[in-house]
Structure 1
Amino acid sequence: MKRTTITNRPRGPRLTACLMAAALACGIAGAARADAPYPSKPLRVVVPYTPGGVSDAVTRLVMQKLAERLGQPVVVENRPGANGMIGSDNVAKSAPDGYSLLVVVAAHSINPSLYPKMSFDPVRDLTGVSQIGRIPLLLVSSAQLPPGSVKELVSWGKAHPDKMTFASSGNGSGAHLAGELFSQAVGMRMTHVPYKGVSPALPDLFSGQVAMIFDSVQTMMPQVKAGKLKALAITSPSRWPAAPDVPTMAEAGYPAVTASSWIGLLAPAKTPKVVLDKLSGEMDAVLHQPDIKARLIEYGIDPVGGTPDQFQAFIKDEAVRWAGVVRKGGIKVE
């Protein structure tokens, strides 16, 4: 086998000149790559939830338009599990270069209060890019029960504490936290009844075995229109176009119950500001396209946008607010 031995013997002038020229050429090429405009290759966007859900559908809708504006493909990758933490951990530990991004919902800011031993810090290890939208929650009660307004529900619940129950899609879910916030705001003890998703809860809500639930307009309004549930209030600042007759929680007399969910785009911490600003600006443009706004509203989402700093501040505020609700309610998950 032939072996080549490299020594440090002196080189001739011509060889030295050639090596210097090659090194200079490599340096120029490296500088060109470092200064290449962003993005110069496809982006990866992780959805830490199962395919087919609202967050997945909204991500694919918005990312298709973002890809058109960036001039690069955007590959959506589902990595579900552990209430969004598996996919989030993957992006949190990716290179902070703007090519690995993450779409999350409100659970992102709630998880630190429920899971103290997370493998990453949602606020420290990830940073906001753009808040895609707010998702107001509809407070509905069973049509089999007497209350027809929020105040009537509170009065009825205080008179029948054994019947004052609320459903959710599981311990630690947005519906669980919203119900706990409502309980604390109105000063009434309520029994939480968790289900494995919203669909399994519906029969018990229809029959009146469970009194109420907070969930999305998109999910609950068809049941309201069918006469199976009563829409009592919505958590958005103003009335929702798809439910114009439903008062806001503030109009119903409970302005402290602001429990809207949300969906947004994140990047690994330490991603350069110029990249975050580029992505945020393009996301703003996408979210203000009339066809995208209309589709998001169909999904029950109010488009937001905004700067990376605004979104990151919002995430931090949400984490603090829900930590207080979790602590006061003594909420724990297995």
Structure 2
Amino acid sequence: MLTAAALASLAAPALAQQAESWPNRPVRIVVPFVPGGPTDVSVRIVAEQLRQRLGQPFVIENRGGAGGLLGAQLVAQAAPDGYTLLYTSSSVAIGPSLQPGLGFDPLRDLAPVSLVTDVATTLVVRPDAPMGSIADLVSRAKASPGSLSYGTSGVGSSNHLTAALLAFTAGIELLHVPFRGTTQATAALFGHNIDMVFASTAETLAHYRDGKVRVLGVATASRLPEMPDVPTIGETLPGYVAPNWFALFGPAAISPVIVGRLEAELSAIGRLSAVRDQFATLGITPLMSNASTMRARMAEDVPTWRRVVQQAGIRAE
């Protein structure tokens, strides 16, 4: 009778050969959020470039739920053959702290491939809002705790944690109103049902350019070229920064050969002026790192966001 080790040794050459010939059929990229958000927008640009360069369709499959964790689990449990990948936001480093009962650990169950993009988070209000700055917001929130409401794309989303970090840093209390997506949150803002929205530039830049919203601040370390007149939140609350990255992952046991191929292709895509121009119109910054950089980022972010969740007392619905 063959032992498990013997079976694995027999299978290894076949797996290596499959990795060398990857991809020879369509590749599925799971996006663990509803269509239309910044994750969806940026991944479609990347997927089209991968299709052109590798000669196979890269098919986007939206699998929303549990703050992005359901889609992440789907990929973690998929065959590690490179034909099921995950494109998700920094929320993948947040979710396990909110829902530990799911038994999902991104550091254990997923293989980082590459940081792909960074999409700045903005804090927007209506043009007629009485709040004209972050300092004004903080002052009003301190005068009337819990009276100011903000919308995000859901409990445990990166936007939610960005807002929670702001409230904790400023020592204020804000009322969180979660929605299924930022489109619904923005509609609630325009309908005067909430006071502000935390959302990415991919979702707010067009409204800002059209004068439909006022951007009080961005959650980045420095001001954005697309919004040079908008201060960083850290200019008012020193030390505050909340990166909102997007990245590609595979199942934990995916072949290093496939990871290396994806790293190289993404690096080349990130250098294309046409792609950079597409990203720039949406306020998206290409990162295109590698697996080791992505792994280090995850190792840093998971405990950081765990502290924010604990300090803010956030609970999953």
Q: TM-score, normalised by structure 1?
A: 0.81
- 4+ runs deviating over 6 angstroms: none
2:310 maps to 1:330 = no
**In the TM superposition, what are the counterparts of 1:137-152 in structure 2 within 5 Å?**
137-152=121-136
1:271 and 1:203, CA in 2 relative to 1: closer, same or farther beyond 3 A?
closer
Residue 83 of structure 1 corresponds to which residue in structure 2?
Answer: 67
2:39 maps to 1:55 = yes
Aligned residues: 304
Equivalent of residue 82 in structure 2, options 86, 98, 102: 98
Residue 101 of structure 2 corresponds to which residue in structure 1?
Answer: 117
Residue 195 of structure 1 corresponds to which residue in structure 2?
Answer: 179
CA RMSD of aligned residues (A): 2.6
1:176 and 1:316, CA in 2 relative to 1: closer, same or farther beyond 3 A?
same
Partner deviation per Cα, 1:85-104 (whole Å, 9 max, x = no partner): 33322221223233321111
Taking the aligned partners of 1:207 and 1:52, their CA distance within structure 2 comes to: 20
Decide whether the 8 Å contact of 2:81 with 2:255 is kept in 1. yes
Residue 259 of structure 2 corresponds to which residue in structure 1?
Answer: 276
Residue 274 of structure 2 corresponds to which residue in structure 1?
Answer: 291
SS at the partner of 2:181? coil
Structure 1 residue 123: Cα displacement: 1.8
Structure 1 residue 269: Cα displacement: 1.0
SS at the partner of 2:108? coil
SS at the partner of 1:49? coil
SS at the partner of 1:192? strand
Decide whether the 8 Å contact of 1:179 with 1:213 is kept in 2. no
Taking the aligned partners of 1:190 and 1:90, their CA distance within structure 2 comes to: 34
Structure 1 residue 313: Cα displacement: 1.4
Residue 299 of structure 2 corresponds to which residue in structure 1?
Answer: 316
Partner deviation per Cα, 1:72-122 (whole Å, 9 max, x = no partner): 443333333333333322221223233321111122111101111225322
SS at the partner of 2:236? coil
1:92 and 1:31, CA in 2 relative to 1: closer, same or farther beyond 3 A?
closer
Which amino acid counterpart does residue 67 of structure 2 have in structure 1? N
Residue 5 of structure 1 corresponds to which residue in structure 2?
Answer: none
% identical aligned pairs: 36
2:222 maps to 1:253 = no
Partner deviation per Cα, 1:160-192 (whole Å, 9 max, x = no partner): 335333222332222221111001111122222
Decide whether the 8 Å contact of 1:141 with 1:230 is kept in 2. yes
Taking the aligned partners of 2:131 and 2:29, their CA distance within structure 1 comes to: 44
SS at the partner of 2:85? strand
Decide whether the 8 Å contact of 1:231 with 1:246 is kept in 2. yes
Which runs of 5 or more structure 1 residues have no equivalent in the other structure? 1-29
Which amino acid counterpart does residue 245 of structure 2 have in structure 1? W
Residue 129 of structure 1 corresponds to which residue in structure 2?
Answer: 113
SS at the partner of 2:269? helix
Taking the aligned partners of 1:233 and 1:286, their CA distance within structure 2 comes to: 30
Residue 167 of structure 1 corresponds to which residue in structure 2?
Answer: 151
Partner deviation per Cα, 1:282-308 (whole Å, 9 max, x = no partner): 111112211111112223321101110
Structure 1 residue 223: Cα displacement: 3.7
SS at the partner of 1:327? helix
Structure 1 residue 147: Cα displacement: 2.9
Which amino acid counterpart does residue 90 of structure 2 have in structure 1? A
Which runs of 5 or more structure 2 residues have no equivalent in the other structure? 1-11
